[in-house]
Amino acid sequence: MQPADSKMLEYLHDATVLTVLYDAEDRKGRALTLHVKCDPDAGYAEWDGKRLSVRLESIVLLSFFVFGAVARKEQINSWGTKVSALMESEIVRLQASGYNCEGQRFIVAFHSGSILEGLCQRIHVEEGQT
């Protein structure tokens, strides 16, 4: 798996979400993996139409609001780095208590209205692992 630049992750718009896996087994840190199939016209030739695993590693904070009353497939609408005011206030609260909050902020909006956001130490992308 290679580290992902936050600008690269913007090319996941319109990717179909195949599975979301929360990994709580490793005592060193939690992780969440999104298995996706990229849109063939996403604009990043190396990912267009391919299956990827996007792994959020060493999660510091995570919130996943899921709107499940949807009949169609789940797709990523956008991937960004500006988290909600509520999430940012939680990060500030943790920092004030002495917790290491270095890492990557992320917010993923889905076509269904679901929202995934948080802070993790690393984001890695691997091709063909879905």
Number of domains in the chain: 1
- Count Cβ neighbours within 10 Å for each residue of 6-28 and write b for 16 or more, e otherwise: eebbbbbbbbebeebeeeeeeee
Residue numbers of the domain that contains 54: 2-127
Give 107's pLDDT tier (boundaries 50, 70, 90).
very high
3-state secondary structure of 31: strand
Position 26 scores a pLDDT of 86
Q: Residues 1-55: pLDDT tens digits?
A: 566 788 899 999 999 999 999 999 988 899 999 999 999 998 999 999 999 999 9
| 66 confidence band (pLDDT: 50, 70, 90) | very high
